Structure 1
């Protein structure tokens, strides 16, 4: 098994984001996507704590402690960027004004259900954040995640076992092993990460992956 790095997965996600798109990046791995947008392509990044036009990550000497996104990552603001209160920010998310959200996930089901805010481990506190608002208001949900858990158990399932964030909302999944679309017929393979076989990826996936 040859796993892509988080940076490589982020670059693959970035390649699918079209010019002019308004995009919200979830906490964790998805924040890497903003640094991999292809040259010459303009993408407007939204932070749910009230920023439209999130710029590149600053160098250490350029950090402004008053500028950070929802994941508490220091940011810059692109020319023309805007600041606003949470009510306006969540209205953008719920009202269909964001084109794409890139989220992390604990589990994704073959029908597009996503679980990303809580597990069944009581020692690991749940964190709702804005994910539930994003999945009901944003028309295209990309998920960026590891293909399996640390113990090797699958994260792409027939049905989620963790509390759900949204029902049937995921469009495409980017893992360290493959890119997979969610279709009315279930998971469908888009491409394998270099060096991996379909049989291997299927063996690490609970649900069936279609290839045609």
Structure 2
């Protein structure tokens, strides 16, 4: 199981019956592939689709069925198209139960930077600011470290913030971390990963839960 699959599987277990969920561009879209069979979750995309489903088999792509990043998706029975005004009304109005977003950095306060790197041309923030600000629960799904080995969980973000509102959880290929008012709480480690490994790979300070355990990557979790 590769790093991205570990992250997507663990995030999928946070979804509950009847939730309205937004999956951001990139890695977060993989979460749709691991939603438990029989769980009725409504996936929303900023470009105006409610009820999207996993990527279609090769050759079955439909140009009218894409996510916000332009990736092909399928649609569940009863899915609906809406315009961008209604789509962002849902987001800004606090009607999204969960949004899952990628991250460049998350700091010790849970503040997210995920839309640009200084000096690198960026097309814009898209809906990220609205999603972090408006969703009831914000999950960051990202690799624990950058390609150069630098931690992506830092004492303070050095890149432009997406929102001044903290995220809720951080799910990486190494750990499940809860953002609390007093700091970052390590609650789970990925299979085969020691707590000491997570601490070493994290530039920000971590509190360690007294009940820290290994991630469950299939089945379901109880609230």
Bin of the TM-score, shorter chain as denominator length: over 0.9
Residue 221 (structure 2) aligns with: none
CA distance in 1, matches of 2:68, 2:123: 16
Distance 1:50 1:72, change over 3 A: same
TM-score by length of structure 2 reads 0.90
**Contact 2:90–2:96 under 8 Å retained in 1:** yes
The corresponding residue for 2:67 is 69
Kindly tell me the number of residue pairs found equivalent between the two proteins. 209
Post-superposition CA distance 1:100-136 (Å, at most 9, x none): 000000000111100000112x234253110011111
Alignment check: 8 A CA contact 1:111 1:168 kept: no
Q: What is the DSSP-based 3-state SS (H/G/I as helix, E as strand, rest coil) of the residue aligned with 1:7?
A: helix
Structure 2 runs not aligned, ≥5 long: 210-223
In the other structure, the counterpart of 1:31 is: 29
Alignment check: 8 A CA contact 2:54 2:74 kept: yes
> In the alignment, which residue of structure 1 is the partner of 2:219?
none
| 5+ residue gaps, structure 1 | none
Deviation of 1:168 after TM superposition, in Å, equals 3.5
d(CA) in 1 for partners of 2:41 and 2:11?
Answer: 13
The partner residue of 1:155 within 130, 152, 164 is: 152
- The answer to whether the 8 Å contact 2:12/2:32 transfers is yes
Question: TM-score, structure 1 length as denominator?
Answer: 0.94
Name the residue aligned to 2:175.
178
Structure 1 stretches of 4+ moved >3 Å? none
1 CA distance for matches of 2:5 and 2:111? 25
| SS in structure 1 at match of 2:11 | helix
Partners of 1:188 and 1:149 lie apart in 2 by 21
- Counterpart selection for 1:15 from 6, 13, 23: 13
Aligned partner (choices 141, 150, 163) of residue 166 of structure 1: 163
